Amino acid sequence: PDRYAVIGHPIGHSLSPQIHALFARATGQRMTYEAMDGGAQPGGFEAALAAFIAAGGRGLNVTLPFKLRALAAAHAASDEARLAGAANTLRFDAAGRIEAHNTDGAGLVRDITARLRQPLQGRRVLLLGAGGAARGALLPLARAGIACLRIANRSADKAEALAAEFAPRLPGCPVRGMGLEQLAALSAPHEGFDIVINATSASLAAQSPAVPAPLLAAAALAYDMVYGAAPTPFMQAARAAGCPRQSDGLGMLVEQAAESFAWWRGLRPDTSAALVAVRAALQ
Ligand code: ATR
pLDDT (0 to 100) of residue 61: 98
Beta-carbon neighbour count of residue 136 at 10 Å?
Answer: 29
- Which atom from ligand 1 is nearest to the alpha carbon of 130? 14
Handedness of CA 228, 216, 200, 99 (dihedral sign): positive
CATH code at 2-104+251-282? 3.40.50.10860
Quote the mean pLDDT of the chain.
96
Q: Are 5 and 34 in contact (CB under 8 A)?
A: yes
Catalytic residue among 20, 67, 69, 82: 67
Cα(68) to centroid(ligand 1), Å: 17
pLDDT (0 to 100) of residue 206: 94
Cα(57) to centroid(ligand 1), Å: 34
For the stretch 65-97, pLDDT in tens is: 999 999 999 999 999 999 999 999 999 998 989
User: pTM above the 0.95 mark?
Assistant: yes
Those residues whose C-beta lies under 8 Å from the C-beta of residue 181, and which sit 6 or more positions away, are: 156, 210
CATH superfamily membership of 117-244? NAD(P)-binding Rossmann-like Domain (3.40.50.720)
Q: Domain map of the chain by residue range? A: 2-104+251-282, 117-244
For residue 189, pLDDT over 90 is answered with no
ipTM for the whole predicted complex goes beyond 0.90: yes
Based on the residue annotation, tell me whether 67 is a catalytic residue of this protein: yes
Radius of gyration of the CA atoms of the chain, in A: 19
Fold agreement between 2-104+251-282 and 117-244 = yes
Cα(225) to centroid(ligand 1), Å: 12
> What is the full DSSP assignment across 161-203?
HHHHHHGGGSTTS-EEEEEGGGGGGS-TTTT--SEEEE-SSGG
Kindly state the average pLDDT of the residues 22-34.
Answer: 98
Of all protein residues, whose CA lies closest to atom 2 belonging to ligand 1?
A: 132
Q: Whole-angstrom Cα distance, residue 8 to residue 257?
A: 15
Q: Whole-angstrom Cα distance, residue 239 to residue 216?
A: 8
For the stretch 228-279, pLDDT in tens is: 999 999 999 999 999 999 999 999 999 999 999 999 999 999 999 999 999 9
Of all protein residues, whose CA lies closest to atom 11 belonging to ligand 1?
A: 200
Amino acid at 25: R
How many angstroms separate the Cα of 57 from the Cα of each of 33, 62, 173? 10, 14, 39
Of all protein residues, whose CA lies closest to atom 25 belonging to ligand 1?
A: 202
> Which of 127, 154, 227 most suits a substitution to test ligand 1, by most atoms within 8 Å of the C-beta?
154
For the stretch 103-156, pLDDT in tens is: 999 999 999 999 999 999 999 999 999 999 999 999 999 999 999 999 999 999
Q: What residues line ligand 1, using a CB cutoff of 6 Å?
A: 129-134, 153-155, 158, 200-202, 205, 207, 209
Q: Is 16 annotated as a binding residue?
A: yes
Helix (H, G, I), strand (E, B) or coil at 21: helix
